[in-house]
């Protein structure tokens, strides 16, 4: 990116490295082309031509720079950049016997946003001005939903020493997409059948499979499909890693929920055996803790129920009643989330439960837990273990996810762009996984299945995009 130094009031030094480079080339060309004509035309006309080409080159190069930058830059960053340069004038850049000044004017015309680049080239005392108009188009993009993934596993990290490891007979059923080109960063060890079944291993274009893949089944893999039959049923293929947005935890609505009333009993604990425990109003709790196998019922009353709690622990059940067609329990958990050998909406629809967890203590779905819902984790480790069963989706910004001890995630999209994911001891995921790096050992598997439940799109960047292009009849 060309360097830029911004002046506070009178103007700015726009990014002029490319401008100057291009202008110099044109000056040399113009100087050569007009030398033979100087005997026929006045020196003034010659200087005017030089000034025009200087201005035209500056405007065109800066326009090209903005068009390309909009294509490759995050929306928020690009909007800030445009705000920084709008309605400003650069300092004069000296080029041989001339100077170049660029001014920008951001305006709206008939509901469309325009950016005028006004370039003034001066050569030996003669000044020419060129204006090019760009059109700025802001579009709302569709909500991103990882549950629409069509692959079993995608691993984002391009720098991990070991990005993808299958050992002891572990396998993936479906396509695997990797971003790594590092030596021996893909590891296959043990097992008798395919490591990747019913799918291909996709590497970045230009990657050398011999360099990347480390297998204990004879020589390293080659480039012909036959050579991959020992590990990968459909061979190695090549593609560009798709671009996925970063997950965004909903800071604007959590944990500050001032409209939630304080619960009459801020510690909801099922200590009386013959009492029915019902949450029938939105509210804030210090503790929700069903104990001794007893049940807390959440009455959705055909709509949504919003609950915020500091500490959530299950040694009993949490079930929903009076569930409407689109009803949801929206549960905000501050510092602790643990389920024991019980049910949280266990036989219900996962789309009726959304749990948001902001704490740093690990999230544990333990024992024979049956959890049906979507979980959004800000920073904590997630562990599904000891036969726990989950149906629904997980979005996490934490750095570690474990599925082990016979635990099973069903119809799940696991979107964990910052996390190392491990499947151990018979752990299984049916759905799709997106993660930073991946390891699994004996008896574990990911099996691609189309995910039946959606993830709300407000948890992902990229809801807007900006494109910059030349306006109709742009040159003036």
At 67-126, the pLDDT tens digits run: 888 877 777 788 888 888 888 888 888 877 788 889 999 888 877 889 999 999 998 889
pLDDT recorded at residue 221: 41
Mean pLDDT value across the chain: 80
- Higher-pLDDT residue of 461 and 389 is 389
pLDDT-derived band at 45, boundaries 50, 70, 90: confident
Report the share of the chain in percent with pLDDT over 90. Answer: 28
pLDDT recorded at residue 456: 57
Assess contact for 291 and 316: CB atoms under 8 A.
Answer: yes
pLDDT recorded at residue 248: 56
Q: Please write the tens of the pLDDT for every residue from 407-439.
A: 888 877 888 888 999 998 888 999 899 999 999
Threshold 0.85, pTM exceeds: no
**Burial label, 31 (beta-carbon count in 10 A; 0-12, 13-18, 19+):** middle
User: Over 60: is that where the pLDDT of 24 sits?
Assistant: no
Report the share of the chain in percent with pLDDT over 70. Answer: 80
Residue range 229-234: average pLDDT? Answer: 78
How many whole angstroms separate alpha carbon 126 and alpha carbon 129? Answer: 10
Residue 21: HSE in the Cβ half-sphere, 13 Å Cα cutoff: 8
Q: Please write the tens of the pLDDT for every residue from 245-254.
A: 555 555 544 5
Instruction: Measure the CA angle with vertex 262, ends 260 and 267; round to 5°.
Output: 125
pLDDT-derived band at 29, boundaries 50, 70, 90: very low
User: Over 80: is that where the pLDDT of 228 sits?
Assistant: no
Assess contact for 152 and 433: CB atoms under 8 A.
Answer: yes
User: Over 70: is that where the pLDDT of 386 sits?
Assistant: no
Residue range 274-287: average pLDDT? Answer: 90
How many whole angstroms separate alpha carbon 27 and alpha carbon 21? Answer: 10
User: Over 60: is that where the pLDDT of 21 sits?
Assistant: no
Assess contact for 455 and 395: CB atoms under 8 A.
Answer: yes
Residue range 309-318: average pLDDT? Answer: 92
How many whole angstroms separate alpha carbon 109 and alpha carbon 136? Answer: 11
Q: Please write the tens of the pLDDT for every residue from 160-196.
A: 889 999 998 889 999 999 988 899 999 988 777 788 9
């Amino acid at each position: 990116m060309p360097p830029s130094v911004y002046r506070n009031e009178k103007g700015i030094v726009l990014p002029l490295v490319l401008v100057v480079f291009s202008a110099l080339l044109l000056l040399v060309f113009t100087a050569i082309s007009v030398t033979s004509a100087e005997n026929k035309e006045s020196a003034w006309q010659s200087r005017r031509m030089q000034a025009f080409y200087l201005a035209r080159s500056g405007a065109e190069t800066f326009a090209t720079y903005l068009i390309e930058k909009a294509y490759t830059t995050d929306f928020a960053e690009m909007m800030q950049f445009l705000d920084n340069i709008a309605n400003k004038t650069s300092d004069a850049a000296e080029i041989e016997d001339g100077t170049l000044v660029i001014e920008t004017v951001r305006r709206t015309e008939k509901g469309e946003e325009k950016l005028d680049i006004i370039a003034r080239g001066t050569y030996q005392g003669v000044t020419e001005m060129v204006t090019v108009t760009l059109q700025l188009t802001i579009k709302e993009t569709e909500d991103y939903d990882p549950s629409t993934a069509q692959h079993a596993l995608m691993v984002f990290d391009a720098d991990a020493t070991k990005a993808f490891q299958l050992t002891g007979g572990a396998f993936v059923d479906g396509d695997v997409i990797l971003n790594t080109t590092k030596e021996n960063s893909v590891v296959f060890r043990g097992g008798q059948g395919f490591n990747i079944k019913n799918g291909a291993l996709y590497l970045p274009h230009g990657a050398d499979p011999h360099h990347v893949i480390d297998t204990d089944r004879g020589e390293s893999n080659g480039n012909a499909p036959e050579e991959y039959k020992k590990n990968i049923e459909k061979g190695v293929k090549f593609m560009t890693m798709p671009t996925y947005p970063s997950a965004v935890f909903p800071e604007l609505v959590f944990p500050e929920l001032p409209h939630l009333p304080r619960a009459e009993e801020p510690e909801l604990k099922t200590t009386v055996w013959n009492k029915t425990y019902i949450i029938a109003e939105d509210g804030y709790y210090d503790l929700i803790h069903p104990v001794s196998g007893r049940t807390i019922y959440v009455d959705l009353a055909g709509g949504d129920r919003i609950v915020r709690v500091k500490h959530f622990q299950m040694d009993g059940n949490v079930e929903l009643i009076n569930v409407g067609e689109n009803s949801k329990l929206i549960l905000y958990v501050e510092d602790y989330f643990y389920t024991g050998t019980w049910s949280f909406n266990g036989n219900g629809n996962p789309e009726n439960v959304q749990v948001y967890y902001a704490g740093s203590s690990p999230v544990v779905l333990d024992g024979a837990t049956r959890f049906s819902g979507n979980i959004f984790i800000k920073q904590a480790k997630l562990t599904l273990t000891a036969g726990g069963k989950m149906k629904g989706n997980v979005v996490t910004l934490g750095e570690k996810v474990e599925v082990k001890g016979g635990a099973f995630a069903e119809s799940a999209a696991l979107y964990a762009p910052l996390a190392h994911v491990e499947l151990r001891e018979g752990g299984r995921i049916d759905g799709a996984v997106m993660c930073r790096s991946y390891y699994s050992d004996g008896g574990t598997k990911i099996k691609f299945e189309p995910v039946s439940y959606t993830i709300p799109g407000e948890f992902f960047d990229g809801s807007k995009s900006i494109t910059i292009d030349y306006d109709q009849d742009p040159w003036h």
